[in-house]
Chains A and B, each alone.
Chain A
Amino acid sequence: MKLRRVLRRRQWDQERVREMEDHLAHEIDDNIARGLSAEEARRQAYVKFGNPTVIRERIWQMNSFVSFDNLWRDVRYAIRQLWKSPGIALVAVATLALGIGANTAVFTLTWAVILKGLPVPHPGRLLQYVMDNGQPTTMGLSGPMYDALEKRQRDCIGLLAWISDNADLRSGSGLEPVHIQLLSGSAFRVLEIQPYLGSFFAPAAETGEGVRGVPAVLSYDFWREKFQGNSDAIGQSIFLGGHPVTVVGVMPQAFQGLTANFRPAVYVPLSFEDTLYGQGILNSPKHFGLYVLGRLKSGVSVADANAEVESMEPAIRREADPTGIYLNRFFKDYRLRARSGRNGISWVKEVYSRPLLVLELLVAFLLVLTCLNTALVMLARVSGRQREYAVRSALGAGRRRIIAQVLTETGLLVIPGLAGGVLLGWGAAHGLITMLGARGGASSMNVHPNGIIFGFNACVCLLVAFGAGLWPAFRAARTDPAIDLKASDCSVSAKRLGGWVVAAQVAVSVSLVTAAVLLGGTLARLLTRDSGLNAHGTVLASISLSALKSNPAEKQRLVGELLRKVREQPGVIASGFTESQLLSGYSGGASRQFAIDARGDLHSDEKVLDQWISPNYFNAVGTRLLAGESTAPLARGAMAQCVLSYNLASRFFPGESAVGRIVYASTAGQPDGSNLDPKHGCLVVAVAENARVVSLRMPPPQVVYNVISPDVQGEANSKFFTNLGSVNLLVRAETDALGSAALHDAVKEIVPGAMEVRYSTFRQLEDSDLNRERMLVSVSGAFALLALMLTALGMYGLLTRTVVLRTREIGIRVALGAKRSRVVVSVARKVVIEIGIGLLTGSAITVFLMRGIGHLLKSSPSAGTSTYFISAGMILLVSAVAILFPARRAASLDPMRALKNE
C-alpha cells in the first residue's frame, strides 16, 4: 500500500503540478474578469493560493517513508561518528564477531546434528522404534519383533526396516569393499522419496530374486563415481559379496542413507541379507540389527506412538521370542520404545546432542556478555556527547529521533560483527567437527552454509544490537537541554558512565568460568583416576576375520601365530587378544550368571559382562591380578576357565577367595542354581582388579573373562573361533612406537592383504572415548577465556574513560594536596564495588547454570564452592590487571598539565 504510493509519487507530483497550474490560471482569469490588471490578477491569485512548492512537498511527504529517509541520514551520521574513534569501533566489532562466531559455530553443529533431519519430505513425522536401555547407544529390533510390531501398530502409515553392512563389490574395474544398506521394500513409500533415475525396488521384490535377479539402487555419489553419471548404468549387473545384483535405479542426490554418516554406496532389498550370509538373520530372534522407522499418521504424536508401543510390548516380546531366552535374558534391561526418527539412526546425535545443548546454554551467556560489552562502548560514546543531544533536543529533535540515532550507531557496529562472526564461526565449526572424532564418522559430516544458520545468527545479532543499544539510547534521550547545555562535557558524564554494566559482566563471566573449570575438572578426574587399564606402551590392532567365513581352525591358527610373532618382536613385553572392543562406550548385552559360595548361598546377577580373552590379556592391558593366575584349560574336554573382576568376585563369593570356585551361566526357563552342569560353568582361576573396559566415564562393569588359548584344541575353542568376527590384538611394549612397529610387522607377515586391519594406541582409544568431554572442555574453556578477556576489556575501557573525563577534577585535587593513593581510590572505588556485587550475584547465577548443565548431562556436577572460588580468583586477577593501568595513569597525572588541558 505504502510502497505503491512511493513508487507512484513522482507521477502524482506531475499531475498535481498540472492541476495547480490550472487552478491558478482559473483564478487569474476570474480576477481579470473582475477588472484587475494582468499583473495584479496574478499576484492576488498567488496570494490566495499559497506557495505551490510547499504544497507539492506536503503531498510528496504524504507518499514517502519519512522514517526511511531519516534512517539514511542517521546511518551517514553514525558512520562519521564511528570514524572519529576507529580504535574503539574496531574493538567493539571484534568483540561482537567473537560472540557471534561462537554462536555460529555451536549453532551450525546443533543444526547439523540435531535439527537438520533426513533429506526426505517432513522428516519430523518420522518415528524410530528402538530397544532402549536409557544409555546413549541404540539397539535395533530382531526380525520377528519387526514382523510382530508391523502387524500390530496403528499409528504409522507404514514401517520400514534396514540393516547397515559392508560387502565386497565387484564391477568391471575390480574388487572393493563398500558400505551397503539393506532396505525393506516399503522404505521408499514410507520415506516418500522419488528415484533420481530409474526406479526403486517394489515391496514385492523383497520376497526374493525376481526375473531380473536381485534389484539394487545406487547412491548418487557412487553412481557419479563408478558410472560417471551415465544413465546406461540402469540394467547393469554388479556383484556384491560374489552375488549378482541388477542396478535398477539411483537415489536422490541429497539422500545419504538412514544411518548418519554411514553413506552407503548400494541399497539392496532386505532379503538379500540371507543371500549374503545364509544365516537366516531376518528370522532369528537373537539378531537385533534391524533398525526401524515409521511415518506417523497425521494427528498422531510421538508420545502417542510411544504409549501405543509400550502397551503392545509384552505381546510383541511373547510373539517374537516365545522361549524368552534372548529378550528376557540378554535384553532384560532393554525396552521397545518409539521416539522421533527425524535423523534416522545417528550415533553422533545420541552422543553429542546433550553436550551441544550445554554449549548452546554457554553461548547464550557469552552473548549476554558481548551484549554488555557493546552496551558499555555505546554508553561511553553517549556520555561523551551529552551536549550534542542537548543541542539537538533544544532544536526540536524528538526523543524518538535521538533513540533511533543511537540504535543506528549500535547497528552499524553489529553488521560487520555479524559478517566477521559468521566467517569465524564457520571455521570453528569445521574445527569442532574434526574434533568430534573419527569414531562414528562425524568427521565426514556434511555442513554447508545455509539460510537457516545465517538467519538465526542475524536474528541473534539484531537482538544483541537492540539489547546493547536500548539503554544507552534512552540515556541519551533523557537529556535536559537547560542543564546539559550549560555544563561542560567533562563534568557531567563521569558519574553516568558505566551504570552497573561491570557488575553484570563480572556476574556472567564468573559463572561461565566456573562452568569451564568444572567441566575441565571432570575430564581431568576421568583421565587420572585409576581405570584398571594402563595406556602406556599399549597398542591395539583390530583385525576383521570375516574373509575367513566360519573356518574355526584357520582363524585359530592365524590368531595363535600372530600372538607368537608379536611376542618375538623387539621391545615387546606382553601380547594378548580380546574379542570385545575396549573403551567403545558400548557395553553390549549383559548376561545372567550365578554361583554358589562356600556357605551354600546362591548369588546371581543379570548384569554380568562376558568377555573372551587370551591368557596374557591382563599383562597386555595392564590390569593387575589380585589373586590366582590367568590360565586356559590345557587339555581337551577340561572345564572352561575364567577370571572374575573384583567387584563380581566379591558379590558372588563374599568374604572368601573366588579362586577354585565355579560360576555358571543361567539357563532359560530354569531357576538359578537348579542346573549345575559343568558345561555351563567355568572354573575361576584368578581375580582381576576392577577395570573400566567399557568406558572411562562409566563405573567398572562386573566381568567374567573367559580365558581362551589359541594353542589348545577343543570343543569350546572351536565354538569360540567359529563365531569370531573380528579380533583385537593387544601388545604392550616399552613405548607406543615400539609396540606399533611390532604389531605392524607381525600383521604384515601373517595376515593376508585383503583383511581389514585398524591400528590404534590405547591413548587414542582413551581420547576418543572421552571425546565428548574433551569437546566440552575445550569449547567451554575458549568461552571462559573470551569471557575473562571481555570483562577485562570492559573494565579497562570504562576506567580509562573515567580518568579522561575527570582529568580536571583529579588535577585540582592533586593540586590541592590530595594523596595519589586517595586519587586512585576515588577513581577505582566504584569499579571495585561493582566487582564485589558482580561476584555475589554471580554465585547465584552460577548455581542456576550448574543446575542447567547437570540436568542436560544427566549428572550432578559437584559444583563445589572451591570451583567457584577458583574462578572468582581468576576474575579478580584479570580485574586487577585491567584496573592497574588506568589507575596508574590517574595517579601520575601532572596537575599543571591536567588543569591546562581544558
Chain B
Amino acid sequence: MLLGTLDMLILRTLVMGPAHGHTIAHAIERTSDEVLQIEQGSLYPALHRLEDRGWVSSYWGLSENNRKARFYRLTAAGRKQLRAETRRWRTLVEAIGRILGDTSIAE
C-alpha cells in the first residue's frame, strides 16, 4: 500500500463513527471490495501515531459481541487533517491520471 495512505484510510473509516481496530481493518477491506488487503497488525502502529498527533482519541468499550475493545474516534483536528489529505490525494490522482491518460488511449 502507498506510504501515508493508510493513515488517510483509517481517518476516512472513522468518519462513520467510533470503531475498534478489528472493525477498521474489515471496513477498509470491505469498502475497497477486498482490493486493499492490509496486514491487520500494521494498523496498530498507525493508530498509535494518529493518536500521538491528536487526530484520533481512544477509549476502552464493549464491542458488538460483548468483547472488551479499544475504540477510536475522530477528533476535530483529525477531521481537518482528513480533508487536507483527501484534497492532496485527489490532486495527485488527477495529475497522475492526466499523465497516464495518453497511454491508456493507446491501450
Name 15 interchain pairs, CB-CB below 8 A, sorted by A.
Answer: A5-B52, A16-B44, A19-B21, A23-B69, A25-B67, A26-B63, A27-B40, A29-B65, A48-B39, A49-B39, A50-B39, A50-B40, A54-B41, A55-B42, A59-B44
A23 touches B48 (CB 8 A): no
Chain A nearest CB: distance from B65 CB in Å? 7
Q: In the bound complex, what is the Cα–Cα distance between A256 and B41 (angstroms)?
A: 71
Given A55-B45, A58-B45: A48 and B40 within 8 A (CB)? Answer: yes
The reply to whether the CB of B12 lies closer than 8 angstroms to some CB of chain A is no
B48 touches A16 (CB 8 A): yes
Q: Point out the residues of chain B lying under 8 angstroms from A22, CB to CB.
A: 20-22, 63, 67-70
The reply to whether the CB of B87 lies closer than 8 angstroms to some CB of chain A is no
Q: Point out the residues of chain A lying under 8 angstroms from B30, CB to CB.
A: none
The reply to whether the CB of B49 lies closer than 8 angstroms to some CB of chain A is yes
Best-surrounded residue of A5, A19, A27, A29 (most CB of chain B within 10 A): A19
Q: In the bound complex, what is the Cα–Cα distance between A5 and B48 (angstroms)?
A: 11
Q: Point out the residues of chain B lying under 8 angstroms from A27, CB to CB.
A: 22, 40
Chain A nearest CB: distance from B102 CB in Å? 39
Q: Point out the residues of chain A lying under 8 angstroms from B65, CB to CB.
A: 26, 29
Q: Which of A12, A16, A23 contacts B40 (CB 8 A)?
A: A23
The reply to whether the CB of A397 lies closer than 8 angstroms to some CB of chain B is no
Chain A nearest CB: distance from B37 CB in Å? 9
Chain B nearest CB: distance from A5 CB in Å? 7
B49 touches A62 (CB 8 A): yes
The reply to whether the CB of A15 lies closer than 8 angstroms to some CB of chain B is yes
Chain A nearest CB: distance from B44 CB in Å? 6
B45 touches A26 (CB 8 A): no
The reply to whether the CB of A314 lies closer than 8 angstroms to some CB of chain B is no
Q: Point out the residues of chain B lying under 8 angstroms from A54, CB to CB.
A: 41
Other than A29-B65, A48-B40, give 10 A-B pairs with Cβ distance below 8 A: A22-B69, A23-B20, A26-B22, A26-B67, A49-B39, A50-B40, A54-B41, A58-B45, A59-B45, A62-B48
B40 touches A62 (CB 8 A): no
Given A49-B39, A55-B45: A15 and B70 within 8 A (CB)? Answer: yes
Q: Which of B41, B52, B68 contacts A55 (CB 8 A)?
A: B41
B45 touches A19 (CB 8 A): no
Interface 0/1 of B12-33, CB less than 8 Å to A: 0000000011100100000000
Q: In the bound complex, what is the Cα–Cα distance between A22 and B44 (angstroms)?
A: 12
Who on chain B is nearest to A53 by CB? B41
Given A15-B70, A55-B42: A23 and B22 within 8 A (CB)? Answer: yes
Q: Point out the residues of chain A lying under 8 angstroms from B22, CB to CB.
A: 22-23, 26-27
Q: In the bound complex, what is the Cα–Cα distance between A20 and B21 (angstroms)?
A: 8
The reply to whether the CB of A859 lies closer than 8 angstroms to some CB of chain B is no
Q: In the bound complex, what is the Cα–Cα distance between A308 and B6 (angstroms)?
A: 71
Q: In the bound complex, what is the Cα–Cα distance between A58 and B39 (angstroms)?
A: 14
Q: Point out the residues of chain B lying under 8 angstroms from A16, CB to CB.
A: 44, 48
Q: Point out the residues of chain B lying under 8 angstroms from A12, CB to CB.
A: 48
A50 touches B42 (CB 8 A): yes
Q: In the bound complex, what is the Cα–Cα distance between A16 and B48 (angstroms)?
A: 9
Q: Point out the residues of chain B lying under 8 angstroms from A29, CB to CB.
A: 65
Chain A nearest CB: distance from B51 CB in Å? 10
Interface 0/1 of B52-93, CB less than 8 Å to A: 100000000001010111100000000000000000000000
The reply to whether the CB of A279 lies closer than 8 angstroms to some CB of chain B is no
Q: Which of A25, A26, A50, A62 contacts B41 (CB 8 A)?
A: A50
Q: Point out the residues of chain B lying under 8 angstroms from A14, CB to CB.
A: none
B44 touches A19 (CB 8 A): yes
Q: Which of A15, A23, A62 contacts B45 (CB 8 A)?
A: A62
Chain B nearest CB: distance from A46 CB in Å? 9
Tell me the chain A residues, 1-39 only, with Cβ under 8 Å from chain B.
5, 12, 15-16, 19-20, 22-23, 25-27, 29
What size tier do the contact residues of chain B reach? 10 to 19
A20 touches B44 (CB 8 A): yes
Who on chain A is nearest to B68 by CB? A22
Question: Chain A at the B interface: mostly helix, strand, loop or mixed?
Answer: helix
Q: In the bound complex, what is the Cα–Cα distance between A19 and B42 (angstroms)?
A: 13
The reply to whether the CB of A52 lies closer than 8 angstroms to some CB of chain B is yes
The reply to whether the CB of A51 lies closer than 8 angstroms to some CB of chain B is yes
Q: Point out the residues of chain A lying under 8 angstroms from B20, CB to CB.
A: 22-23
Q: In the bound complex, what is the Cα–Cα distance between A25 and B69 (angstroms)?
A: 11
Number of residue pairs A-B, CB distance < 8 angstroms: 59
Q: In the bound complex, what is the Cα–Cα distance between A180 and B61 (angstroms)?
A: 80
Q: Point out the residues of chain A lying under 8 angstroms from B39, CB to CB.
A: 48-50
Chain A nearest CB: distance from B69 CB in Å? 5
Chain B nearest CB: distance from A42 CB in Å? 14
Chain A nearest CB: distance from B13 CB in Å? 15
Best-surrounded residue of B21, B45, B63, B69 (most CB of chain A within 10 A): B45
Chain B nearest CB: distance from A192 CB in Å? 48
Q: In the bound complex, what is the Cα–Cα distance between A51 and B21 (angstroms)?
A: 16
Chain A nearest CB: distance from B42 CB in Å? 7
Chain B nearest CB: distance from A894 CB in Å? 63
Q: In the bound complex, what is the Cα–Cα distance between A54 and B39 (angstroms)?
A: 12
Who on chain A is nearest to B44 by CB? A55
Q: In the bound complex, what is the Cα–Cα distance between A55 and B70 (angstroms)?
A: 17
Q: In the bound complex, what is the Cα–Cα distance between A51 and B49 (angstroms)?
A: 19
Chain B nearest CB: distance from A11 CB in Å? 13
Q: Point out the residues of chain B lying under 8 angstroms from A5, CB to CB.
A: 52
Q: In the bound complex, what is the Cα–Cα distance between A41 and B48 (angstroms)?
A: 27
Q: In the bound complex, what is the Cα–Cα distance between A5 and B49 (angstroms)?
A: 12
Interface 0/1 of A400-433, CB less than 8 Å to B: 0000000000000000000000000000000000
B69 touches A26 (CB 8 A): yes
Chain A nearest CB: distance from B95 CB in Å? 32
Q: Point out the residues of chain A lying under 8 angstroms from B44, CB to CB.
A: 16, 19-20, 55, 59
Who on chain B is nearest to A19 by CB? B70
Q: In the bound complex, what is the Cα–Cα distance between A23 and B69 (angstroms)?
A: 8
Q: In the bound complex, what is the Cα–Cα distance between A29 and B49 (angstroms)?
A: 28
Q: Point out the residues of chain B lying under 8 angstroms from A50, CB to CB.
A: 39-42
Chain B nearest CB: distance from A759 CB in Å? 79
Q: Point out the residues of chain A lying under 8 angstroms from B48, CB to CB.
A: 12, 16, 59, 62
Given A12-B48, A59-B48, A62-B49: A20 and B41 within 8 A (CB)? Answer: yes
Tell me the chain A residues, 52-67 only, with Cβ under 8 Å from chain B.
52, 54-55, 58-59, 62
Q: Point out the residues of chain A lying under 8 angstroms from B63, CB to CB.
A: 22, 26
Who on chain B is nearest to A61 by CB? B45
Q: Point out the residues of chain B lying under 8 angstroms from A26, CB to CB.
A: 22, 63, 65, 67, 69
Q: In the bound complex, what is the Cα–Cα distance between A50 and B21 (angstroms)?
A: 14
Best-surrounded residue of A23, A25, A29, A48 (most CB of chain B within 10 A): A23
Q: In the bound complex, what is the Cα–Cα distance between A19 and B22 (angstroms)?
A: 10
Chain A nearest CB: distance from B100 CB in Å? 32
Q: In the bound complex, what is the Cα–Cα distance between A58 and B44 (angstroms)?
A: 10
Interface 0/1 of A838-864, CB less than 8 Å to B: 000000000000000000000000000
B40 touches A49 (CB 8 A): yes
Interface 0/1 of A265-303, CB less than 8 Å to B: 000000000000000000000000000000000000000
Chain B nearest CB: distance from A62 CB in Å? 6
Q: In the bound complex, what is the Cα–Cα distance between A179 and B84 (angstroms)?
A: 78
Chain B nearest CB: distance from A33 CB in Å? 9
Q: In the bound complex, what is the Cα–Cα distance between A54 and B44 (angstroms)?
A: 11
Q: In the bound complex, what is the Cα–Cα distance between A55 and B45 (angstroms)?
A: 7
Q: In the bound complex, what is the Cα–Cα distance between A395 and B25 (angstroms)?
A: 36
Chain A nearest CB: distance from B81 CB in Å? 18
Q: Point out the residues of chain A lying under 8 angstroms from B52, CB to CB.
A: 5, 62
B69 touches A52 (CB 8 A): no
Who on chain B is nearest to A20 by CB? B44
Who on chain A is nearest to B29 by CB? A48
A49 touches B41 (CB 8 A): yes
Q: Point out the residues of chain A lying under 8 angstroms from B42, CB to CB.
A: 50, 55
Q: Point out the residues of chain A lying under 8 angstroms from B41, CB to CB.
A: 20, 49-52, 54-55
Chain B nearest CB: distance from A63 CB in Å? 8
Chain B nearest CB: distance from A579 CB in Å? 84
Q: In the bound complex, what is the Cα–Cα distance between A58 and B63 (angstroms)?
A: 26
**Pairs A-B, 5 closest by C-beta atoms:** A50-B41, A50-B39, A26-B22, A55-B41, A49-B40
Q: In the bound complex, what is the Cα–Cα distance between A59 and B48 (angstroms)?
A: 7
Q: Point out the residues of chain B lying under 8 angstroms from A51, CB to CB.
A: 41
